[in-house]
Every structure is written in structure tokens, then in C-alpha cells.
Amino acid sequence: MFSVLVLVSTLLIHILLAAGATPRPLVLWHGLGDSHASPGMVEFASMIQDIHPGIFIHSVYIEKELDKDRQAGFYGNVNEQLDSVSQQLAAIPELKAGFDGIGFSQGGQFLRAYVERYNSPPIHNLLTFGSQHMGISDIPICRPLDLLCQAARRATKQAVYSPWAQANLVQAQYFRDPANLDTYLSANTFLTSINNEDPLYRNQTYADNFASLNTLVLILFTQDKTVVPKESSWFGSEVIDDEFISEQRVLSSRSIIPMHLQPLYVEDWIGLRRLDEQGAVVFEICEGEHMRIGDCWEDLVRQWTGELV
């Protein structure tokens, strides 16, 4: 029976393709330490094109030069970068009727911010792999020889909530310290905005845009030590029950507030609850460490991208 269904599905796809239907376009946004046309991103796009022949894929860039694009993942003003990307996407004819989106790590929360703030052209299905939707409460360790990452990490840790860091260091702009939430709320201008955390002003457009998604697929890496806490990928956040020992967080002192208990969800600040109650929020996992995608991406890409339109 299964083989018959596969055959019928394949025949239907060929009929639709012959009739002029094409796969819905796809936009990719790479993660920290990567660039829009790195070998890994090019290979990933090629594998998707093998699954969905004829699909148009655009990889978001801040800078076209690869080294500068990688640097822009560490240094820059996220709000300004988002505005630039919104103009970039609006200028691509193939995307004018809308597209699906896949965001890797911070690229996922940036695509989510695009949906809330712009969404023209609109995103239909959004897949986020290991994205920091509720921020990070620790700065990830860099690879030993990654001097750019090490410099950004030092600068971020020294003054994460200073005006300069909040305007120039990308990771600082989604650093959400559970032991210092008052300072976070008063200093941050990116994550507090897209999470509608200002009690004096909730942007209804953000909520309406986000709730307009067809499907939101939230993918968590089970052994993620880069995104702290890893549950941020599922809109979970950390609460500190006990005091810090020295300046080092102790794992046993951490508790996680899951998505369904977040004020952001309960009071529906960003339309997440509305989306969830429509059955449009999907929780998935990839076994292993941060962005060690392995084979877990393929079924998700088959199911949630490439619909013939």
C-alpha cells in the first residue's frame, strides 16, 4: 500500500509540474560563523534542489563578500541588518508571491523577526534550527583558532548591556540574562522588540504577522551547548532558582520555563499562542550538538518546503 501511495504521489507531482506548477521558493539564513555562500550552505541548497527539482533558493546575505558576510554575523546592528534584508527580499521577483524559510541558529530568529516586522513578501512555512527565540543566557565558547569569534565574545562579555554593545555586537542583542532581567528590558533593543516585552507597548502588527504563518517548525538539538539554554529553540527560557557560585552558572541551579508557561505565550504578545491553537506550531528535535544536522533535516525539508504552487 505504501509503495502505491508513493507512486501515486510521484505521478501527481509530475502532472502538476507538466501543468506549469513550481515548488514554492525557499529562503535560507545562515548562522553565526557562516556566510551566505559557504561550501556548507551551497551544498545544503543543492541537496534541497535534489529533493525539490526546480525550486528557487535564495541565501540571505548582509555582505556579498564571504568574509565580510561572516563578520556581519558577529558585528553589526541587527535592526539595521533586518531592514536591509527586507529590502533585499522584496527586490527578488521570484519571491513576490511568498516563500518558505529555513533559519540556522541566529538566522532562524532573524527570519522570525522578518515575519513580525515586514513579511512582504510573506513567509508561509518557517523552520528554525537551534534558534535563540528566547535569547541566550551565556556566551558560546569559540573554536580555538576562531579569532573573530573570540574577539566578539570578549567584547560581549565585558559590557553586554552597554549602548555600544547593543548597537554593534550581534550576540549582545539577543543576550537575555535571567539574573538581570530589569537591565535586559531597559537596555535591549532587538530581542525585547521582537518578543514584544515592553509592557507599555505591544506591537499588534508583530503578533498578526507572526500568527499568519502556515506552519512554524521549531527544531531543538538535544545536546546543544552553544545555545544556552537549548530550550530557547522551543521558546523556553531559564530562571535562576539559587544564587550563582562565583561567576559560574551551576547546571543544577537552572530551571526552564517552557513555551506554554511564558507570559509571551499566555498573554499572546507575539501571536504565538494564536498560531499554536491553530495547530501550526510543530516541535522537532535533531539528536546531537548544535547545528550537527546529520540526516534529521531531510524529512523536515520534504514535508514543510517545496509545495507546488
Q: What is the CATH number of domain 24-304?
A: 3.40.50.1820
Antiparallel, parallel or unpaired: β 237-240 and 281-286? unpaired
Asked if 290 is an active-site residue, the reply is: yes
Where are the domains positioned within the chain?
24-304
Q: What is the pLDDT of residues 165-180, one digit of tens each?
A: 999 999 999 999 998 9
Q: What is the pLDDT of residues 212-257, one digit of tens each?
A: 999 999 999 999 999 999 999 999 999 875 443 344 444 445 689 9
Asked if 299 is an active-site residue, the reply is: no
Quick one: pLDDT at residue 173? 97
Give the CA angle between residues 220, 254, 271 to the nearest 5°.
Answer: 50
With a cut of 70, say whether residue 5 has pLDDT above it.
no
Against a cut of 0.85, is the pTM above it? yes
C-alpha cell at 180: 538581570
Name residues whose C-beta falls within 8 Å of residue 246's C-beta, 6 or more positions apart in sequence. none
**Residue 137 · residue 176 · CB < 8 Å:** yes
Quick one: pLDDT at residue 92? 98
User: Residue 243's closest CA among 253, 256, 229?
Assistant: 253
Mean pLDDT of 152-174: 91
With a cut of 90, say whether residue 2 has pLDDT above it.
no
Please, which pLDDT band fits residue 155 given cuts at 50, 70 and 90?
Answer: confident
Q: What is the pLDDT of residues 59-111, one digit of tens each?
A: 999 999 999 999 999 999 999 999 999 999 999 999 999 999 999 999 999 99
**Residue 100 · residue 125 · CB < 8 Å:** yes
Mean pLDDT of 131-138: 95
Mean pLDDT of 266-282: 98
Q: What is the pLDDT of residues 15-61, one digit of tens each?
A: 445 457 999 999 999 999 999 999 999 999 999 999 999 999 999 99
Residue of 59, 105, 137, 233 marked active site: 105
Residue of 69, 100, 224, 276 marked active site: 224
Quick one: pLDDT at residue 151? 87
Quick one: pLDDT at residue 17? 54
Asked if 224 is an active-site residue, the reply is: yes
Q: Report how far residue 172's alpha carbon sits from residue 189's, in angstroms, rounded to the nearest whole number.
A: 10
